[in-house]
Amino acid sequence: MLQPALPARLVDRPALTATLDAAAAHKVVVVTAGPGWGKTTSVAAWAATRRAAWLDAADVSLERLSRGLLRALRQRLPRLPAELITTTAQGAETVAALICGLLDVHLDEPLVLVVDDADAVRGESARLLEALCRTSPDRFGLVLLTRGALAFDPGPAAEVVARELAFSEQEIAALVDGDAGEVLARTGGWPAAVCHGELTEEVAASALAAEPERNQDLVRAIALLGRVSTALCVALGFSDVRETLAGLAQRGLVTGPDWRVLEPVANLLRQDGLEDEEIRLKAAVFCERTGAHADALAHLVAVRRWDLVARLLLRRDEQIVAGGDADAVLTALEQLEIDDSRLYLVWGFALQHKGDWLGALHCYEQAGEHTVRSSWRRGQLHALAGQTGQAVEVFERTVFDDLASLDEVRLLSLAVRWFRVTGRIERAEELAERCAESAKRCGGHAAFAWSSRAFGVLAGFGGDRVAFEMHYGRAADRARRAGCRMLELTIRCERARFLADEFGPEQALAEVDELLVLGRQAGLTGHEQDCRGVRALAAVRLGRFDDALRDAGTCPRNLVVKAEAHRRRGEPGQAQAFLDEALVLPGADPLVRATLARVVAGEDVSAARTLAEEAVATSQVLQVREVPALLARGWVAVLAGDRETARADAATARSLAGRRGDRAGLADALQLAAATSADGPALLAEAAMVWRAAGDPVGAATAELALARSTGAETTSFENELRAHGVRTDVLMADVLGVGTRRRARIAVRTLGGFQVLRDGVPVPAASWQSKKARDLLKILAANRGRAVPRPQLVELLWPDDRSDRTANRLSVLLSTLRAVLSVPGLPADAEPLVADRDTVSLDLSFVDLDVAGFLDAASIALVADRRGDPAAASLLTDADELYLGEFLAEEPYEQWAVQVREEVSARYTAVLRALVRLVRDPDLQVGYLIRMLELDRYDESAHVRLVRALRAAGRHGEARRRYQVYLEQMRDIGVRPAEPDLFGAKGSEVLRAG
């Protein structure tokens, strides 16, 4: 027969073509799919570009098949004889041998024979095709199209099945006008359903009817349940299910390995009515036995077996909720008649995990009883809400049974934390011992896991890392051996929080990543918010602030984490906003007050000292907060000038942090000690090493910057590193950089757009200078921006031609004059705007507002924000632009020390303007920035071109044409051919030629 005609509208299918090409590398290809899957059309389209013959095997007699085969081959090999010189009575092997012989003689290039309906052949005809598959020449290939199993063995063959014939979403989009994604979901890519929607049910019914009754029952069961495993099919009573499912998948009725029925077939079955209580109940039993508790609940709800639903919820509500299916629990409960008060505990637990804590509390109250099962749920809710005192009250009202239970052990373990947090340390220790006794009486790995966790909590709060690791390690191991994945996740997540908070943030991150994977593998998601909170906390401790803010999300428990990220980035306003919110929550953590004290100290030292004292007092109860509370009080004391308190707090914090293995706390304690010690540089160097060992590059760079500032060394590299992390280095807060900033400078030195010195906003009179050299000295120091300048270098710059010994005395006189100029009444006794020792001289920018330093810092921060894609970049760039008031010391055009800084300022300002041009959308604003760029460099070609385009975009065409001519002339002046010579067409070209 001739190859089938192709439809008029044929979509290109490169993926299917590649699949068939790969399969055709084999001698035999078997294409298996049910009706409507487009086997014939797809293979015909593929064969149309190849040397192929086509045979319809629907007529199964050997004689007719052999004649049809010969006619099909003659379409491609016309020199073949019209008739075989034999009779079919001699058998299929003889016919096959003759055809193979003819092919050996006449076949000079590859040929593919496509056999349609190959599953229809039987008997001798089947033996003929089998013989051709096995004995035909190497250049001869066969593609067998079939709806089911073949009646013969084709030998080694490549297989193409229904799922590979399905349309993709992109292919569907080329065929239909509607939403391709919706069509794909509705049809499963079944070609007949996609192309002939009105015939879908007919095609589906035909495909299903072609299956044996046992297969039809299996398909109905899968359609009823939605998605099943092979094991569930076996549990439902279907035998030989693996082979059956594989065959159904080949024919396109189901897809696997999580088996589901193709949507058109499932839709047809749903119309006929699918519900089968026996199947649902068997599935529910299987699902509960295998841990798929939410699926078990869904099956029971579907057949409205409310008695079984209630029993399942009382047994498995924790697992269902932890798997992320609290909504399913609530939906089921809304349809139940509550005749068992224990179901209110289930209801409350589901509401608690949905965030409806008031609703949960109401349900717990309706439960009425104060059993251990009720109390651990109520107490846990109060503790999560920050009402740890009320959790303790719930525990005290609990009625304990004589018989030990896992619920009792759990309640006692949770209560250890509640009593420890509220400062009742001896009672917490007593409850831990009681928990251990109860675990022994109860027995089982889960009970011992809760008991070990209780002792781990005590060790964690007490800062005993060795005991902490031992007890939490035992708890996790016991939970694992109990086979209780949810308990294992709970214990390990709690352990990770302790690690992130004090002992080892890197270890905490690794733990959390593993927990997220384990939870998802087990279908448990209830712990994920806690895991993200732990990850945020660890990220802050490691200086990864963007990661921390992303992971912290909107959970109230993470407010202080977000505040700490902003504090360490030098953003006190944003930090305070989160801390103010956290402060009003019940049972606020001492860390909230400690962090807030450090944030507000720059504006209100008195309020900061009050907050710090409160933090230290409350940390005596919550000992895990002792180190941050002491550090907060110490840093605030430094700003207040109370060096004795700062020194004492530094020593205590240093001792505690070292004993507990808290490397971040130790590093900050060393920095605090450096602020009050003559050994400051050595302590800062040690702090940098500790930060680095803790894996915190921001902490290390901060300590190194503080060290460089204290010794007068180069600070640029450290400042750039911190800016790359988004950290501001000039913010007045209670930390190692903030104490150097001190208070708002009362002395201002202006170098941009003209030189001027102001004291409390009033310009210094000319008579105060006494000599021009004093002004020159201040300019040189300003050019060095706080860096120490050696005295010999100053002498060389001020008196380049004077080699006498008098220059040293002259410099001393100038320093006295300059010190008088920079003096302001009321400065602290240790305030020295001009720092001079025997070797070097510098300006202390803690007391001097130097505009060039402020501009360069602001510009760097803005440009880093721009490179990071920070939404605040445009605002920061605008602020930097406003700080630029003109060239640096324009009155010193030839002094090399001034020229270098002038070029740095100009380059930085150009970068700011270029970024603003890119970010702003208003053409008029762009014009202003571009004109300023050209004032800095009139030969900046890209600025010229963008200016012309911006003017045209603003509708200022005359100005644009004038600027265009300026552009061409400037390029001509330096002998450069313009990159854009035709912005105004021919006239522009004329101007160019005229030059």
| pLDDT in the model for residue 779 | 93
| pLDDT in the model for residue 526 | 66
- 3-class SS at 79? coil
CA distance 267 to 273: 10
pLDDT higher at 586 or 934 = 934
In order, the DSSP letters of 395-435 are HHT----SS--HHHHHHHHHHHHHHHHTT-HHHHHHHHHHH
| pLDDT in the model for residue 987 | 46
Find how far residue 563's CA is from the centre of its chain: 20
Element counts in the chain: helices (H) and strands (E): 51, 14
CA distance 921 to 923: 6
Give residue 588's pLDDT band: very low, low, confident or very high (50, 70, 90).
low
Name every residue whose Cβ is closer than 8 Å to that of residue 975 and which is 6 or more positions away in sequence. none
Q: Which of 117-121, 386-390, 671-675 has the lowest mean pLDDT?
A: 386-390
Strand 840-843, strand 834-836: pairing: antiparallel
User: Tokens 């190849």 identify what position?
Assistant: 50
Residue 22 in tokens? 């790969």
Q: Report CA-CA distances (Å) from 210 to 214, 318, 728.
A: 12, 45, 74
Closest CA to 543 of 509, 497, 576, 589: 509
Residue 311 sits at the vertex; the CA angle it makes with 307 and 315, to the nearest 5 degrees, is 170
Closest CA to 858 of 979, 747, 730: 730
Closest CA to 599 of 732, 742, 703: 732
Backbone angles phi, psi at 528, to 5 degrees: -70, -35
Q: What is the pLDDT of residues 522-574, one digit of tens each?
A: 766 667 888 888 899 889 888 888 888 888 888 777 888 999 999 999 888 88
| pLDDT in the model for residue 827 | 61
Q: Is the pLDDT of residue 988 over 80?
A: no
Closest CA to 666 of 652, 680, 678: 652
The count of residues in the chain is 995
pLDDT higher at 409 or 586 = 409
User: Tokens 């963007």 identify what position?
Assistant: 546
Contact 478, 487 (CB under 8 A): no
Q: Percentage of the chain with pLDDT > 70? A: 94
Closest CA to 948 of 993, 989, 983, 910: 983
Residue 504 in tokens? 């080892």
Contact 505, 497 (CB under 8 A): no
Q: Is the pLDDT of residue 301 over 50?
A: yes
CA distance 535 to 564: 14
Q: What is the pLDDT of residues 199-257, one digit of tens each?
A: 667 778 888 888 888 998 999 999 888 889 999 999 998 988 888 898 888 888 888 77
Q: Report CA-CA distances (Å) from 820 to 764, 769, 816.
A: 11, 9, 6
841 DSSP β-pair partners: 789, 836
Residue 859 in tokens? 């510009």
Residue burial 289-304, b: 16+ Cβ < 10 Å; e: rest: eebbbbbbbbbbbbbe
CA distance 29 to 278: 42
**78-99 average pLDDT score:** 76
| CATH code that applies to domain 744-914 | 1.10.10.10
pLDDT higher at 197 or 693 = 693
| pLDDT in the model for residue 440 | 94
Closest CA to 81 of 109, 111, 59, 101: 101
| pLDDT in the model for residue 158 | 93
Classify residue 4 by its DSSP letter: P
CA distance 598 to 139: 83
pLDDT higher at 423 or 914 = 914
| pLDDT in the model for residue 829 | 56
Amino acid at 652: T
Q: Is the pLDDT of residue 492 over 60?
A: yes
Q: Is the pLDDT of residue 184 over 50?
A: yes
Neighbours of 585 (CB within 10 A): 16
The predicted model scores a pTM of 0.54
CA distance 847 to 610: 26
| pLDDT in the model for residue 737 | 87
Residue 754 in tokens? 């003209």
- What rounded mean pLDDT belongs to the chain? 85
pLDDT higher at 432 or 742 = 432
Q: Does the structural domain 14-165 have CATH classification 3.30.420.40?
A: no
Closest CA to 936 of 887, 893, 875: 887
CA distance 446 to 509: 25
Backbone angles phi, psi at 254, to 5 degrees: -135, 160
Contact 867, 856 (CB under 8 A): no
**42-65 average pLDDT score:** 85
Residue 741 in tokens? 């900033």
Amino acid at 697: P
| pLDDT in the model for residue 910 | 92
Residue 956 in tokens? 């200022």
Q: What is the pLDDT of residues 836-846, one digit of tens each?
A: 988 999 998 87
In order, the DSSP letters of 362-375 are HHHHHH----HHHH
CA distance 457 to 47: 71
| pLDDT in the model for residue 2 | 65
Helices (H), 694-846: 697-711, 716-724, 738-741, 772-784, 791-798, 807-821
Contact 923, 950 (CB under 8 A): yes
Q: Report CA-CA distances (Å) from 426 to 46, 429, 432.
A: 81, 5, 10
Name every residue whose Cβ is closer than 8 Å to that of residue 965 and which is 6 or more positions away in sequence. 991
Highest mean pLDDT among 4-13, 117-126, 498-507: 117-126
Classify residue 53 by its DSSP letter: E
Q: What is the pLDDT of residues 722-743, one digit of tens each?
A: 888 888 888 888 888 887 654 4
748 DSSP β-pair partners: 758, 849
**352-360 average pLDDT score:** 76
Residue 172 sits at the vertex; the CA angle it makes with 171 and 173, to the nearest 5 degrees, is 90
Residue 274 in tokens? 């699918």
Return the H-helix or E-strand segment holding 99.
helix 92-106
CA distance 929 to 915: 10
Name every residue whose Cβ is closer than 8 Å to that of residue 11 and which is 6 or more positions away in sequence. 167, 171, 174, 175
Q: Is the pLDDT of residue 58 over 50?
A: yes
CA distance 436 to 413: 9
Find how far residue 915's CA is from the centre of its chain: 28
Q: Report CA-CA distances (Å) from 759 to 290, 551, 553, 888.
A: 79, 47, 46, 20
Q: Which of 488-492, 560-564, 871-875 has the lowest mean pLDDT?
A: 871-875
Q: What is the pLDDT of residues 796-836, one digit of tens each?
A: 998 888 877 788 888 888 999 998 888 877 665 566 889 89
CA distance 878 to 916: 8
| CATH code that applies to domain 591-741 | 1.25.40
Closest CA to 67 of 56, 76, 451, 593: 56
Closest CA to 464 of 498, 506, 509, 512: 498
- Upper half-sphere CA count for residue 152 (Cβ side, 13 Å): 23
In the chain, % helix, strand, coil (3-state, to 5) comes to: 65, 5, 30
Neighbours of 68 (CB within 10 A): 19
Q: What is the pLDDT of residues 95-120, one digit of tens each?
A: 889 889 888 888 889 999 999 989 88
Q: Cα-atom radius of gyration of the chain, to the nearest Å?
A: 41
